[in-house]
Amino acid sequence: MKIAIVGAGIVGVTTAHELAQDGHAVTVFEQRSAAAEEASFATGGLLAPGVLSPWSAPGASQTPAYFGRHATLRLGSGLTLADLSWLRRWRRAARASARSGEPLPSLAALERLARYSHARLQHLAESLDLQFEHSPGALLLLRTPRDAQALAPALKALRDAGSTIREVDADTARTLEPGLSHALPLTSALHVPDGLAGNCRQFALLLRQAAQQHGAQFHFNTRVARLTGHPAGVQVEGESAPRPFDAVVLCAGVQSAALLQPLGQRLPLVALHGSSVSAPLREELHAPLGVVVDVQTQTTIARLGQRVRVSGGAELGRSAAQAHPQTLKTLYRVLGECFPGGVSHSSGVQVWRGARPMLPDGPPAVGATAVPGLWLNLGHGASGWALACGSARALADQITGRTPDISLEGLGAQRF
Ligand SMILES: Cc1cc2nc3c(=O)[nH]c(=O)nc-3n(C[C@H](O)[C@H](O)[C@H](O)COP(=O)(O)OP(=O)(O)OC[C@H]3O[C@@H](n4cnc5c(N)ncnc54)[C@H](O)[C@@H]3O)c2cc1C
């Protein structure tokens, strides 16, 4: 089949690779000059069960705090009706989960996809010999009993699915991550032995090359102005007519909803901004070995080669393009509390702000639409790096007419 993909973030690149490997003629359209320049650029690096990522799904972690210096969700002045509606739905789902004491079905869908994705990522990395920065082990820090309580539904979903999560005491946590500050108050921790810290952008750039070797063509600096149905196609900005394809896969991250709307397809997709700070290692003994999640502040600290990356913050609504000053303060504070002296702040520090493409129940939308030939792989929210390899494989199977290896229940666009 002749297939167009819109967007070359981690989701578009993994999709292009799977479809090209299956023998399809793949063309990727990307408005930026390279792959992984938007949300996939400097992600937190957490590769662990999807439900353990901060903001992975409603009811999976802390209830957001909206005000004050330690707010975990900041509402910008330019909130739209779509933002408010997303927030209402997210909060309603989180409350329903808290009331019932049971994890929402969306957590099971996320967990299934994340596990499959993890296996697929490892297969790709090994079989293609992708040399991307990664370090093993994920540790979730529970500073207080309240942190443990907040994670209870996510843990139940993981255990129901048979995942290996070890509850460890503070001393064991410090053995697993010896750089952790002894001054940090810690009740206990959760250890995910097969979790990883990994460089998403590097992986995307390497996999793009592998996709090209299978014949996929990447058109950079090429913006798709609109999608067409009957026949499926894409119209590139500056061109007078659409280009027809047998199938079009939309992987345009936060910009997907605007491309779908003219075709009568509405998706409750919003942008939840966050930031990361990457700094060179100063003293290895005081830095993380793998990736650490501070459940209280919804912040991750990951070891990526000779750098440490701290990431977090959640800002809803239109706001300035730069990182939010209060988010940055929190990132530096948490890094200093957990790994004091681990990084150098004097030079080579990279500050980044990106937008998580969020749907209101957590999991992405993967599959067919009501428009023949138009497929979706989008809305991966806060765990797109951890989910991309799996959702790409499952979607490629669907397009090729094979039964995917995992159930896609809870991932279809029709659920909205
Ligand atoms: C601060 C932060 C930390 C994060 N940490 C983690 C983490 O630790 N682990 C994890 O798993 N996930 C994490 N995420 C989430 C993850 O980054 C995203 O889910 C993922 O990158 C989404 O990938 P994507 O390919 O869907 O979107 P993108 O990477 O945004 O790709 C979409 C692409 O489509 C292109 N595009 C859009 N419109 C058009 C058009 N009209 N024509 C042509 N091209 C177009 C864009 O230019 C872009 O390149 C984090 C996100 C943020 C913001």
Q: How far is the CA of 381 from the centre of ligand 1 (A)?
A: 8
User: What topology does CATH give the domain 2-40+202-268+362-415?
Assistant: FAD/NAD(P)-binding domain (3.50.50)
Strands lying side by side in the sheet with 233-236: 224-228, 233-236, 243-244
Strand residue runs (E) in 35-120? 46-47, 74-75
- Give the residue, by CA position, lying nearest to ligand 1 atom 25: 9
The per-residue pLDDT for 76 is 82
Which residues contact residue 39 at a Cβ distance below 8 angstroms, ignoring those fewer than 6 apart? 9, 253, 254, 354, 355, 356, 357, 384
- Distance, CA 203 to ligand 1 centroid (Å)? 13
Residue 188 in tokens? 């206990």
CA of 285 to the centre of ligand 1 (A): 32
Interval between CA 356 and ligand 1 midpoint (Å): 6
Atom number in ligand 1 closest to CA 377: 26
Give the residue extent of every domain in the chain.
Answer: 2-40+202-268+362-415, 46-104+128-198+269-357
Question: How many whole angstroms from 252 Cα to the centroid of ligand 1?
Answer: 8
Q: 44-103 pLDDT, tens per residue?
A: 999 987 678 888 888 777 677 776 777 788 888 789 999 999 999 998 988 888 787 777
46-104+128-198+269-357: in CATH 3.30.9.10: yes
- Looking at residue 167, what is its pLDDT? 92
Could you give the CA distance from residue 290 to residue 304 in angstroms, rounded to a whole number? 8
Q: Quick one: pLDDT at residue 100?
A: 79
How would you classify residue 399: left for phi > 0, otherwise alpha for psi between -120 and 50, otherwise beta?
alpha
pLDDT digits (tens, 9 = 90+) for 261-313: 999 999 999 999 999 999 999 999 999 999 999 999 999 999 999 999 999 99
Identify the residues whose C-beta falls under 6 Å from ligand 1. Answer: 6-12, 29-32, 36-40, 43-46, 53, 223-224, 251-253, 255, 259, 274-276, 300, 311, 354-357, 378, 380-386
Mean pLDDT of the chain: 93
Confidence (pLDDT) at 186: 96
